[in-house]
Amino acid sequence: MTNRTLWIVLGVLSVITGIFALANPLAATLTAEQLAGWGFLILGILELFAAFRQPDRGGRIWIILVGIAFVLLGVMLLAKPLAGIISLTLMVAMLFMATGIFKVVMSFSLRGTGAFWLLLISGAISVLLAVMIFGNFPAAAATILGILLAVELISSGISMIALASVSSD
């Protein structure tokens, strides 16, 4: 199988998975929450392992504390998925709001360039998404993570297919 074929297969699978996630955003939301839980748990364990391999004693305590925090976060997300969904949805909304405001403010430093309107519109969309999530909270928690996962899967799949079109083999 060539790289080009592999990119196409991965891209098509990603798009199909994204479509399934859009068809059932609640299941996709639960999946995203559980993936985050396992990711934090594994990352925390790896941090703790790395801490004890750290030759410098001074930095070791901070690595251990971060590792413990990640393990606890992962365990909490896995043990209480509904609370995890609500927490992650709040974090997503706050992230959208913060990045949106940052992009809007930054766009004004780019007045007169082609990037001004693109950055301004992107920032406004991020702020609007945050307002929509906050305005429909906690009901939005049931689906928003799944919808975002679906959009990411579809976008990534399209990107992989596009990469296959420029592949040299």
| Nearest of 68, 71, 49, 51 to residue 60 by alpha carbon | 51
Residue type for 99, please? T
Say how far apart CA 151 and CA 135 lie, in whole Å.
21
Residue 5 confidence class, pLDDT cut points 50, 70, 90: confident
pLDDT of residue 110: 87
> Which amino acid is present at 38?
W
Res 63: pLDDT? 86
pTM over 0.75: no
Q: pLDDT of 36-89, one tens digit each? A: 999 999 999 999 998 888 777 777 888 899 999 999 999 999 999 999 999 989
Which token pair is 144?
A: 């928003």
